[in-house]
Structure 1
Amino acid sequence: MARAGKLEEAEKLLKKANKLWQPSILDMRLKPDWEGAAPLFEKAALAFKQSGELEKSRAAYERAAMSQDKIGSTWHAAKHLESASQISRDLGEWGSVADFARQAAGYFAQAGRPTAGADALARGAKQLEEASPSDAHALYKEALDMYEVDGKEGQAGDVFRQAVACLVRNGKYGDAAGLLMRFGEACDSVGARSSQCKAYLGAVVAWLYAQDAREAWQVFQDAMGVDAFSSSDEAFAADALFLSYADGNAEKVKALVQSKAAFRQLDAAVGRLAVKLPIGDLAPQAAAIKDLMGGGAGEEQEGSEDELM
């Protein structure tokens, strides 16, 4: 009975709001009354949602957003579109989740709040992680781009971590490594040294998990050009890991990862990769690393490990 009452209320509110969208000679209204319609559409949307009519609720939120846009309130328009995105999730319409999240982000940016827009994209991505990973990856990237445009990438640590975890879960290890390097650069902009060093070590781990020793070595060399990393525990751990790989002994690699606190302190998704190293045929990876290190790695292994413990 309560549901039926809410539905009746919603229909009445919607009818009244729709009338305000039209000029009316009888009401001496020569143009749409956007300002009067906006709150009515919002109330109708909420009542439809409470009565279980999700599609009607979403449509009402869209009209509320259009009304707010017409009166120049892009912030409120963005909030309504984000509500439409959330309802699309409940409807299982994953493409619409992404579409409405992008529209909301655009309105937040128009309102002079690009960081709020980036937050909206990140929330949309989070909703899509299981149902549509490719859309989630795309939204996370757009969110991080928007943070960067606003100069706030250094404050987006949680979104970087969520995006990396999503990539790892879907086997996108190279993409995860690239994003970790980007996260490291973002950390540098705000002096977040600990997170920066973990990100760079994580990139090494991700590439080794992908069985691409050459890319792992390259990101390590790039990271070593950063002062904050070059003298860190994470750098020493990465160096020891390469030496263990070059030795070609899987048990030594496993023991090294277990012995170094730096690996245990990685963010969970990347840390789970580290404890599974080495992956695949170790021999070609060992040969590649020996070649990259200039040979002779095996002879230096024992002394270097003693120094790095």
Structure 2
Amino acid sequence: MTDRKAQKLAEGQQQLLAAEKHLKTGFFKWRPDYDSAAVCYQNAALAFKLAKEPEKSKDAYEKLADAHYRLGARFHAAKAYEEAGNACKELNAHNLALGFYDRASDMYLENGTPDTAALCLERAGKSVELINYEWAIQMYRKAAEICENEEDSKHRQAAEYIDRVARLQVQNNKLTDAVQSITKQCKLYSQIEKGQDNIPRLTCNLVLVHLHIGDPVSAEQAIYAATDYADSFDGTEEQDALTRLVEAYNDEEQDKLLQVTHTPMFKFMDNVYAKLARSLSVPGCSTSKPTTAVGIKQHKVAPTAEIVGQMQKEVDNMADKMSSLAASAPDIGGNVSADKSPQENQCVDDDIDLT
């Protein structure tokens, strides 16, 4: 332990003891002094943080949040809970960290700052996306609910949070849940000024998810529903392409389906949905260059009977050629060729000295 670390640890412990004294009551002190205790807890938390002791820092920040809450300072209590969550992340206690972030968002809401509450939950969701996507989804959903409860101008932000939810669900093969999330996005954007411009993109995402589930009927219904969300969708390039895509899927024509999914409209989608497009195939068939979508398991496809038959013919032809060559080859063991005269064969035998 370095001298600086030992110094900061000792300083933190002294501040904790001072805070406890401020909270004690006696005959001449009827109420705890939370103002002075909050200052001591703040100093202690900072000292432990500089000493690289996240466990002690987390405890100090939690006590600081309680002191601010008792003083009615909801915003400062929320900031302390956020710091406690950050300390938990350093300890890899992500589940505990999310609990502190959730309490911080509640404090921000009580303080009347919903924007800050949503941002707090967004930061929490980003921190655990690669660790536990279900936790991230919970954070993004709560952030979206906060934005939905605000004025209409916040609905766009809510739709963006739901988009994060949908992408995580597709990546982790939760396609049925993704359908609900994308549908909710469409409803939110349809209520936003200039939000209808996003309907064609979302409809493409929705149709791809439906087809991967194996539900072309719902995919077709999603195309029709898009005109309800946005009148401008009727007659667009996306409507035409999606209609041809569903028709190819229903007719089980893989070549036509690939012609649609290989167009720039599908190639340059969001990466998660572009992989869905590349891996899409009609029932009972596989793409010529199979690509596994994120979170979607890929299965080997057995060769068709036509391919097997063609391979068998090639093997039979090769066997016939080998038989013909063997029949026309000279009899090396007897050194006699059927194509030569008896005299020539006799000369050959005379040249071989067996003694």
1:155-174 to structure 2, matched below 5 A, reads 155-174=157-176
User: How many residues were matched structurally?
Assistant: 280
182 and 92 in structure 1: CA distance in 2 versus 1, 3 angstrom threshold: same
CA separation in 2, counterparts of 1:281 and 1:39? 69
SS at match of 2:259: helix
CA separation in 2, counterparts of 1:131 and 1:161? 19
TM-superposed deviation, 1:264:
3.3
Match in the other structure for 1:7: 9
Q: With a CA cutoff of 8 Å and minimum separation of 6, indicate the structure with the bigger relative contact order.
A: 1
Amino acid at match of 2:16: L
Amino acid at match of 1:137: I
Match in the other structure for 2:322: none
Deviation above 4 Å: which 4+ runs of structure 1? none
CA separation in 1, counterparts of 2:212 and 2:46? 47
CA RMSD of aligned residues (A): 2.3
Deviation sequence 1:28-72 (CA, Å, 0-9, x none) = 542112222223222322221222221111111111111111111
1:256 aligned to 2:271?
Answer: no
SS at match of 1:225: helix
CA separation in 2, counterparts of 1:5 and 1:80? 23
Match in the other structure for 2:156: 154
1:19 to 18, 21, 40: 21
TM-superposed deviation, 1:103:
0.8
SS at match of 2:130: coil
TM-superposed deviation, 1:223:
1.8
175 and 70 in structure 1: CA distance in 2 versus 1, 3 angstrom threshold: same
Amino acid at match of 2:123: R
Amino acid at match of 1:46: L
CA separation in 2, counterparts of 1:200 and 1:208? 12
What TM-score do the two structures reach when normalised by structure 2?
0.72
CA separation in 2, counterparts of 1:163 and 1:9? 44
TM-superposed deviation, 1:282:
5.6
1:111-150 to structure 2, matched below 5 A, reads 111-150=111-150
What TM-score do the two structures reach when normalised by structure 1?
0.82
SS at match of 2:269: coil
CA separation in 2, counterparts of 1:98 and 1:38? 23
1:197 aligned to 2:211?
Answer: no
CA separation in 2, counterparts of 1:63 and 1:280? 59
SS at match of 1:23: coil
TM-superposed deviation, 1:237:
2.5
1:46 aligned to 2:46?
Answer: yes
TM-superposed deviation, 1:113:
1.6
12 and 63 in structure 1: CA distance in 2 versus 1, 3 angstrom threshold: same
TM-superposed deviation, 1:219:
2.5
Can you give the 5+ residue segments of structure 2 that lack an aligned partner in the other structure? Answer: 287-355
Match in the other structure for 1:65: 65
Can you give the 5+ residue segments of structure 1 that lack an aligned partner in the other structure? Answer: 284-309
8 Å contact 1:115–1:150 — kept in the other structure?
A: no
Amino acid at match of 1:167: Q
More helix by share: 1
Deviation sequence 1:113-138 (CA, Å, 0-9, x none) = 22322222222222222222222222
Deviation sequence 1:195-238 (CA, Å, 0-9, x none) = 33212221111222222323323333322322143344332332
CA separation in 2, counterparts of 1:217 and 1:120? 39
Moved more, 212-221 or 98-107: 212-221
8 Å contact 2:216–2:250 — kept in the other structure?
A: no
Amino acid at match of 2:185: F
Match in the other structure for 2:284: 281
TM-superposed deviation, 1:158:
4.0
1:212 aligned to 2:215?
Answer: yes
8 Å contact 2:11–2:47 — kept in the other structure?
A: yes
2:248 to 239, 244, 247: 244
231 and 10 in structure 1: CA distance in 2 versus 1, 3 angstrom threshold: farther
CA separation in 1, counterparts of 2:124 and 2:197? 28
